[in-house]
Each structure stands twice: as C-alpha cells, then as structure tokens.
C-alpha cells in the first residue's frame, strides 16, 4: 500500500524534514510559491472496563475508577489537517511553513464524567505552526513543533495510529502507550537546528520554552535544552534499520515560600534511545528512557498528574521505562502487531520514610492489533489492550479495552 501515513509524516517532521512529499494535491503559482495539504480523519469506537481505585492518598490514575464506558472518539492521534506553504528556492535554501490543526471529534466533556451531547465544540489543537529553512548546511526550524526528547519513542509506537490505553473520562484522546512505555513529548515552542544527512546520521539541537518541574517552581528563567542523534539506512535485501538517542535538561528555581527547599533548584534531566529493524513482512522495535524530575505521563509534567516529578522533600524522583514491539504482514494489506511497555518510578528517600503519600511504582500495558488497508486511502483497525497500575504499597488497578476504528489518509 503506497501512501504517506500521518505516522510517517510526523516521523519526517521529527527529523526536521520540511513539507512531507506525496501530498494529496499541490497548488503552484507562476512565481514559484506552492500550497499543499495532507491529513487524516481518525474515528474509533471503544469499550473499556476499569477496576476500583485503591483507597489511600495516591498518585492519580488515568484509568478512571470502577467504571465502564463506550465511546466514539479519536484515538491517540487526533484527526489532522495540515497546510504546507513553500516559498521559491533562493540561494539554494528551501523555505516552508507548516500549520497543523488537530481536532477531536467527540462532544466536549463539560461534566468531568460523561459526554454532554450539547457541548458540540470539538477540542481543536493548533499543535504545529513553524517555518523551516533547509540548505546544504542543514535545517533551521522555528515555531511550535513536536519536541525532540522521546519524540521517536512515540512516533515508532504502533498505537500512534490506534487507541492503545483508553483512559477514563475527561481526556480528548486515548493514551496509546503514553505513561505506559514512554512519556508524552508534547508539541512546544522552539528553535531547532538539524545537521545535513551525513551518511544516514543526523544531529539535532533545540532551545525550548521551559516548563515547571514541580508545583513549587517559581522561576523558569533558563531554557529547556533538547537534543537528538539518529541514524537510518537501508541494508541489503531491502531491510530497514534505524536507531536514535535523545536527551533533555532544564533547571528551575523553587519558590521562596515552598515548604521544602525554598529558593533552591530542581532539575529535569533525561535520556532516551531506541532501535527498529524492518523487512518486507516483519518489524521489531525496542525503545526506552531514564531520568529524574520527568513525571509519569508527560515529560516534565511537574505536579500536574499527581505530584510525581518531585517528592515531599522537594527532591526529584527517578523515572524510567521501555517499550518492545513486533509486527508481521500476513498480506500486503493485512498486518498484525503486538507490543508491551512499562513506565516505572523509584521511591525516593523521603518516600521510604513517609506514609502520607503513596507514589505510583509501575504503569504497564500490552496491546494486540490488526490493521487492514481497504485501499490506499482507507484503513481499518481492531485491537485489544490490557493496562495495569501498581503503587509502591503493592495495590493495583487494571483496565481492559477493545477498540475498532477507521482512518482516512490524504
């Protein structure tokens, strides 16, 4: 099936590539300007059941609490409408602008527990708006784009185009393996430089908008620095191979009135890596990450998801995780895939001596998926996902979900 999937599109964007090729159509002017578009319509039906949240003061759970639900919604990736504007080539430099609009389809959840059919305004996310200038010396990207750190970890996950872990109400997308094998890298304001392709090797460095490391962060007066080095090649027999490593660093000053370590520094620091090998029928993948002050759902989520990045003493917790994946094409159009991932968090010294708060220890999920390409524009997907959360006192919560969906690419 010869089409440019949105996963490939995002992969190219993460590499610093400008406008994705094979757009549905290109409008060109006599003066050399071009306008093209690409995108996806993404619709899934899903049914999930979730066990009860254990009692106690715990890290929050995205799985809900002793409930079940049916939804018609987007998967991990919302629907996408992308517009690409290419300027005439000047001095060997190709300049482009990309605007990516990512709407959800489900009714807005205004109650926090159920969908309200009268709240029909979908969640519209302008995740991408940037320009690139690419020439023989590399590429400059400036604007809002997918961040580098753990970017390829999510782009190579098969659930990017499916549902994966289906969370409880009040989310605009499903989770895929976010928090269950990697952290969400997010789209953020940045200035990025990527080297030219050096026999398959590329190096990228970005200066990014800083985030809070914890709820006690008072100053974010230093940038967040992210980097990535990647290598991709095609081996004999058509076998593809790619590997990558990415990193993140940022410091932030705690409030002078913070209960713990007032006025001192917190740091987010992390590394991630992965390798993928594919042939005409089979593909295998392994990726992982390690760091401190990262959180358990979104990279540098601070205290947004249950006080995970730092402990009660104001010190950074340690987090790490991995994802393993395999897929096989039974025919040119029918593919089977399976993956399993974990995100883990270590107890800090404060956690070991405190009973006031029970941090999350492990979030794990396994997914079995089948996809069928009806034609080069339409794809159908069915999958089953099992997810389990485990806290440091041994208490657990689990979820089962089934999703059936379809995607239209252009």
Q: Give yes or no for residue 117 having a pLDDT over 80.
A: no
Whole-angstrom CA distances from 305 to 9, 65, 255 are 30, 16, 20
Whole-angstrom CA distances from 144 to 73, 98, 100, 147, 184 are 25, 10, 10, 9, 16
Q: Is 398 a domain residue?
A: yes
CB atoms within 10 A of CB 231: 15
6, containing H or E segment:
helix 6-14
CB atoms within 10 A of CB 255: 15
- Name the residue range of residue 342's domain: 46-75+147-409
Domain count of the chain? Answer: 1
- Comparing CA positions, the residue from 171, 188, 161 lying closest to residue 104 is 171
DSSP codes of every residue in 354-394: --S-B-EEEEEEEEEEEEEESSSSEEEEEEEEEEEEEETTS
**pLDDT given at position 293:** 93
By the 8 A CB rule, do 400 and 47 touch? no
pLDDT in tens, 243-258: 999 999 999 999 999 9
Task: Check residue 95 and report its DSSP letter.
Answer: E
Beta bridge partners of 306: none
Quote the distance between the C-alpha of residue 50 and its chain's center: 23
**pLDDT given at position 125:** 85
Q: Is 274 a domain residue?
A: yes
Q: Is 19 a domain residue?
A: no
The radius of gyration computed from the CA coordinates of the chain, to the nearest angstrom, equals 21
Burial class (CB in 10 A: 0-12, 13-18, 19+), 220: middle
166-175, 280-289, 335-344: which has the minimum mean pLDDT?
166-175
Share of the chain above pLDDT 90, in %: 71
Q: Give yes or no for residue 347 having a pLDDT over 70.
A: yes
The two three-digit tokens of residue 203, written as one number: 């190096």
Q: Give yes or no for residue 120 having a pLDDT over 70.
A: no
Q: Give yes or no for residue 160 having a pLDDT over 50.
A: yes
Q: Is 7 a domain residue?
A: no
Q: Is 105 a domain residue?
A: no
pTM score: 0.90
Q: Give yes or no for residue 354 having a pLDDT over 90.
A: no
CB atoms within 10 A of CB 355: 9
Coil, helix or strand at residue 410: coil
CATH code of the domain containing 336: 2.40.160
Beta bridge partners of 342: 322, 364
pLDDT band at 28 (very low <50, low <70, confident <90, very high): confident
Burial class (CB in 10 A: 0-12, 13-18, 19+), 5: middle
- Residue at token pair 């995970």: 308
Distance CA 273, CA 242 (A): 11
Indicate the average pLDDT of the chain.
89
Mean pLDDT of 328-342: 97
Burial 154-167 (b: 16+ CB within 10 A, else e): bbbbbbbbbbbbbb
Mean pLDDT of 37-59: 92
**pLDDT given at position 113:** 47
Longest dimension (CA), the chain: 71
**pLDDT given at position 108:** 63
Q: Is 16 a domain residue?
A: no
Task: Check residue 316 and report its DSSP letter.
Answer: B
Q: Is 136 a domain residue?
A: no
Coil, helix or strand at residue 153: helix
Q: Give yes or no for residue 71 having a pLDDT over 70.
A: yes
The two three-digit tokens of residue 15, written as one number: 């590499």
* Residue predicted with more confidence, 220 or 204: 204
**pLDDT given at position 4:** 43
CB-side neighbour CA atoms (13 Å) of 240: 11
Q: Is 267 a domain residue?
A: yes
Distance CA 148, CA 175 (A): 19
57-66, 77-86, 178-187: which has the minimum mean pLDDT?
57-66
Task: Tell how many helices (H) and how many strands (E) occur in the chain.
Answer: 3, 19
Q: Give yes or no for residue 21 having a pLDDT over 70.
A: no
pLDDT band at 115 (very low <50, low <70, confident <90, very high): low
Task: Check residue 237 and report its DSSP letter.
Answer: G
Share of the chain above pLDDT 70, in %: 89
């Amino acid at each position: 099936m010869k089409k440019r999937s949105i996963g490939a599109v995002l992969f190219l964007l993460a590499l610093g590539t400008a406008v994705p090729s094979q757009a549905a159509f290109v409008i060109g002017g006599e003066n050399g300007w071009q306008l093209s578009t690409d995108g996806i319509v993404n619709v899934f039906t899903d049914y999930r059941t979730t066990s009860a949240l254990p009692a106690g003061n715990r890290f929050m759970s995205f799985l809900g609490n002793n409930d079940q639900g049916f939804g018609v919604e987007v998967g991990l990736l919302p629907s996408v409408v992308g517009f690409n504007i290419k300027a005439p080539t000047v001095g060997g430099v190709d300049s482009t602008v990309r605007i990516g609009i990512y709407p959800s389809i489900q009714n807005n959840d205004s109650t926090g527990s159920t969908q309200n059919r009268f709240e029909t305004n979908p969640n519209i996310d302008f995740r991408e708006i940037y320009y690139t200038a690419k020439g023989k010396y590399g590429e400059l990207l400036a604007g809002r784009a997918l961040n580098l750190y753990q970017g390829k970890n999510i782009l190579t996950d098969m659930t990017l185009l499916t549902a994966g872990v289906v969370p409880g109400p009040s989310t605009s997308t499903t989770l895929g393996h976010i928090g269950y094998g990697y952290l969400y890298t997010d789209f953020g304001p940045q200035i990025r430089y990527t080297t030219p392709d050096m026999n398959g090797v590329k190096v990228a460095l970005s200066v990014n908008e800083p985030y809070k490391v914890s709820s006690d962060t008072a100053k974010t007066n230093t940038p967040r620095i992210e980097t990535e080095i990647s290598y991709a090649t095609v081996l004999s027999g058509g076998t593809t191979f790619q590997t990558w490593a990415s990193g993140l660093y940022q410091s932030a000053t705690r409030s002078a009135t913070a209960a713990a370590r007032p006025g001192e520094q917190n740091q987010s620091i992390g590394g991630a890596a992965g390798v993928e090998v594919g042939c005409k029928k089979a593909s295998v993948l392994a990726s992982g990450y390690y760091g401190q002050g990262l959180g358990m759902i979104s990279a540098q989520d601070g205290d947004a998801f249950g006080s995970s990045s730092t402990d009660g003493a104001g010190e950074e917790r340690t987090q790490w995780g991995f994802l393993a994946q395999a897929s096989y094409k039974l025919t040119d159009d029918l593919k089977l895939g399976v993956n399993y991932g974990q995100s883990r968090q270590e107890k800090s010294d404060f956690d070991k001596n405190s009973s006031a708060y029970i941090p999350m220890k492990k979030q794990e999920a396994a997914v079995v998926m089948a996809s069928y390409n009806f034609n080069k524009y339409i794809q159908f997907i069915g999958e089953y996902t099992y997810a389990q959360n485990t806290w440091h006192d041994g208490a657990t919560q689990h979820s089962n979900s089934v999703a059936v969906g379809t995607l239209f690419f252009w």
